[in-house]
Every structure is written in structure tokens, then in C-alpha cells.
A and B are shown apart, each in its own frame.
Chain A
């Protein structure tokens, strides 16, 4: 039975994830991990959320959005206002960050995604800059000097949000709704002619992606002591874009792996920002030369195991056709 197999695979990964979570939690509470490593781990999880949320928009639905940091900023500031100005609990603040970013996504998505073509790229690029400039000029959120934020982000929070983002986006992708999005990526005119409401699915994917970017923003803001508009410039959007492109457009596990790798690289190169950009560029050039479709192409990590099973003479795997 397909369904049982899928559920088994799902629970197996859940158990592994929870074991990983508990081990890290123990290491943190026993003081074995120093704050440098803890911070890297948090940062990794936040980047994974950003990577999978952009993966849904670009990799699955094929809509080129290049201002993802704008949604990160909206989420960060919205949640910071909730906790710092309105004295709301962190949980509500995170949710508010996600919802505000989703609303922003809706407002940009509806007019631009109705059209065919790359209007979204231009609109999101503009959006990212507009958000930054507005934040620079609004005194309520501190203008250029930024906003001080209490450190509220903890390992359970980042881990839970990351897990939810991954599950939601994976489940969405592996359904008729995700197939509709992939069909748009593959050929929008054909998708249209197969009865897919392409505008609806483009906007939906964009809004879900924006929502999780907003959640990531909330976690990001409460992981530092201060947030400033300069944290959310075009370079930040570019960083997120690289996760998705490097991992392989269309591969969620690819995006996750790229997010992990690049977080490690950039953490160790923090003191040398110029070197970091050079190494990033070299990595990108090498990937484009040797793996033009990204680390995993459109494959998922799991499909490699399935492939091996099939080669070993196992019977045709029911899951092999599961999309992207």
C-alpha cells in the first residue's frame, strides 16, 4: 500500500528529526556547545526556512522572485514591534510576522502574477528596496539605527518552525496542488489549457513562501540584539537565492543542503566579508560549470535511495513518481 509506505517514511524522518532535536537540546542545556556553535545552528535553521520557502516559489512554481529579504524584513520588524512595543508573547509575534509578510506577498502577487512573464522579478526587486527605504525612514522602528530586540529565539522555536516549514512545503508539493504548481513551472500555457487556474496557484505558492519568510524574520530578529534595515538589503536576497540555485532548482533537499553548507562557509568567513563574496562566486561558477542544474538537479535526496533499490532488483517502487 502506497499510503502506508509513505506514512512509514514520514514517521521515520520525524523520529530522526526529534532525536536530533533532543541531542542538540541536551548539548545546549549541559553547556557542551558553546554559543558560537549554537548561533551557527540557529542561523542554519533560519536559512533552511528561507531556502525552502523560496524553493516553493522559484523551484516548484517557477516564479522568479529576487526580493525574498523584503519578506524577511517585514516579518522581522512586524514581530519585533509585537514583542517590543506591544508586549505580546513571542509565539504571537512570530505568527504576526508570518501573516504580515504573507499579506505583503498577496499585495505584490495579485497584480504581478496575473501576467505571464517575469514581472514578478522586477516587482520583488523593487519591493525589497522599498521595504528597506521605508524602514530607514520610520522613526517608530528606529530608522537607520534600527530596533533593539530581546533575545527570545530558542532552539525549540527555531527547530519547530523549521520542521513545520519543511513539512508544510513538502506536503503541499506532493499533492495535486503541488503538481499544479510544477505544471506551471514546466509550461504555463499547457497548464492553463489543462484546466489549472494558474494565477491562483502562482499567488498561493508565493503567499505560502512569503509567510515562511516572515516567520524566519521573526526568528532572525529575536536572535540578535538589534535589527537594522541594512541587514535586509539586496545581498541578503541574493544569499537566499543562491541556496535555491545551488541546491538545484526544484529540489527541496538540495535547497536544504545548500543552506547548511553555505551557512557553515559564511559563518567561518564572517570576519572576512570580501573573501566570503569571492568564495561564494567561485562556488557558484564551479557549480554552473560542473553541475549546471545545481547540486541535486530536480531530484530529491530520497530518490537516490529509491533508485538504488530499483537497480538491486526490487519491484517498481510506488513512490518513484512522487513529484519533485
Chain B
């Protein structure tokens, strides 16, 4: 294991919804630059874990620390500004907004011009908006989406929507990127392109990535380490090789193929 300090540390994290314990005693450490997989059967609590990391829910037990800052209880927008951004299992783009505007929203927190300056159209409004626009266009070019710039996001083909969601998440300048089943609903060709994209952005943006994925070959192929959740608990953790042969994992996926 690496000797440097973890970027993210989830310490005995759990959450209870009414009587249902959706997650309990989850310990996860992510080190800078890693690409880590999070797998588990349906309803295991993977998405719920993302919701805890991003502040959608507050954990009822345990602590989440990014760098050396505790994230518990912070609202989602503050957590994003501290460096965690995500995509969603069911794509959540701003459908009526253009592709360009979707990315511009991610740059909002960098805008320095005030509401008043926009209302009375001070020079700072124009320079601020221009800066956002230039950055957003530059960004879309990296993702080869500039051709769709003025399309409404909801009109993009499915694969491109996934791509845009990742681009938008990255435009928020995260240190840690959370991807919730990015390959869901993609054909093999699109999945392959997605994997190349993930490898590319990881390199280019110096990212740490936590990836939820159902496609086993995909997870096994790209992740350095894998955590396995089942019924709200971590049942295994290790290299793809260790996970593949782990008896508890095989049991959890009873009937499903783990290779």
C-alpha cells in the first residue's frame, strides 16, 4: 500500500433511513491518483455511498475526510467546491440547457462578477461571462463535444449524454471524481471508448477516480483496487485478482459471473 496520506478517508461510515440500515461500518481509503472500483449486487448501497460522499445525505455514523477536512454535514455545493464531483446513475443533465451551458454551470463557482454587475451590465459582467464561455468551449473541445455545443443536452444521443455528464463533472475541477455506472446502457464499442476516455482524463487532470460499475470485465480490467459492498457492508477489498477469487464475493454474486 502507498505510504502517502489518503486523499479521501471514509471512517466507519453508515447511514440509516428510518429503520433501514442502508450502509454500516464502511471504511474506504483512496490515495491520490488511484482508480478504484466499487462493486456489489443491486441494492448493496453503492449509490447511497456516493450520496454520502457528496453531501446529498449526511452520514448517521462515522466520518468522511477529504485531505484533512471533515466533510460531514457540509452542503453538496460546498463539498463540490472542496474537490469532489460526480456523475449520476440515471443521467442528470440540465436537459433544456445547451451542451455549452451545461458546462458553463460547472464554472459558475469561479465567476467573480456579482448579480448586480450582471443586472446593470457592468464591464465585469461581460469579462466574467466571456471568461466562462471561453473556458467552457475549450473544455468541450477536449471531449470532442464542441460540434454539439448549441444543441439542447436532452437531444444528444445517449452515449454523448454520458460523455457530457463526465465533462460537466470535470469542469467543476474535482480532485476526486465519482462515476456511478458510467457504462450502463452502452454498447461494447461505446464502453470501449468510455474506458479510453477515463484513462485519458485521469492522466490529463491528475485525478483520483472511484468507479461504480456492473460490468465486471471493465472493473477488473482498469481498477487497481476494488471494494465490494453487499447489503450495506464491505465484504471484500483487494486487487482484481484477489476479488475474483474471494469466496464472499462469489457468494454475493451467486449465479452471476465474476470474471
Q: A residues near B, CB below 8 A?
A: 2-3, 168, 171-172, 175-180, 182-183, 185-187, 189-199, 204, 250, 298, 316, 320-321, 323-324
Give 6 closest A-B pairs by Cβ, nearest first: A175-B118, A186-B94, A190-B92, A192-B76, A195-B80, A195-B109
Which residue of B77, B96, B101 is within 8 Å of A250 (Cβ)? B96
**Whole-angstrom CA separation of A192 from B104 in the bound complex:** 14
Which residue of B100, B108, B128, B130 is within 8 Å of A180 (Cβ)? B108
Flag if A190 contacts B132 (CB, 8 Å).
no
B194 close to A (CB within 8 Å): no
**Whole-angstrom CA separation of A186 from B97 in the bound complex:** 8
Flag if B105 contacts A196 (CB, 8 Å).
yes
Which residue of A171, A196, A316, A321 is within 8 Å of B101 (Cβ)? A321
Q: For B126, what are the chain A residues with a Cβ–Cβ distance below 8 Å?
A: 3
Nearest CB in chain A to that of B107: its residue: A176
Which residue of A176, A192, A199, A298 is within 8 Å of B132 (Cβ)? A176
**Whole-angstrom CA separation of A186 from B168 in the bound complex:** 15
21 contacts between A and B (CB under 8 A): A2-B130, A3-B126, A172-B118, A175-B125, A175-B129, A179-B101, A179-B108, A183-B97, A187-B92, A187-B95, A192-B55, A193-B76, A193-B80, A193-B85, A195-B85, A196-B108, A197-B75, A197-B77, A250-B96, A321-B149, A324-B96
Whole-angstrom distance from the CB of A223 to the nearest CB of chain B? 26
Q: For B81, what are the chain A residues with a Cβ–Cβ distance below 8 Å?
A: 195
Whole-angstrom distance from the CB of B134 to the nearest CB of chain A? 11
Whole-angstrom distance from the CB of B173 to the nearest CB of chain A? 9
Flag if B92 contacts A321 (CB, 8 Å).
no
**Whole-angstrom CA separation of A179 from B132 in the bound complex:** 12
**Whole-angstrom CA separation of A197 from B126 in the bound complex:** 22
Known pairs A172-B119, A189-B92, A194-B80; A179 contacts B85 (CB<8 A): no
**Whole-angstrom CA separation of A250 from B104 in the bound complex:** 19
Flag if A194 contacts B118 (CB, 8 Å).
no
Flag if A190 contacts B172 (CB, 8 Å).
no
Which residue of B54, B104, B111, B118 is within 8 Å of A171 (Cβ)? B118
**Whole-angstrom CA separation of A3 from B172 in the bound complex:** 26
**Whole-angstrom CA separation of A171 from B115 in the bound complex:** 9
Flag if B94 contacts A321 (CB, 8 Å).
no
**Whole-angstrom CA separation of A168 from B126 in the bound complex:** 16
Flag if A198 contacts B77 (CB, 8 Å).
yes
Q: For A316, what are the chain B residues with a Cβ–Cβ distance below 8 Å?
A: 150
**Whole-angstrom CA separation of A120 from B115 in the bound complex:** 23
Whole-angstrom distance from the CB of B179 to the nearest CB of chain A? 13
Nearest CB in chain A to that of B102: its residue: A183
Known pairs A171-B121, A180-B105, A191-B105; A196 contacts B77 (CB<8 A): yes
**Whole-angstrom CA separation of A198 from B76 in the bound complex:** 10
Flag if A320 contacts B168 (CB, 8 Å).
no
**Whole-angstrom CA separation of A190 from B97 in the bound complex:** 13
Flag if B120 contacts A176 (CB, 8 Å).
no
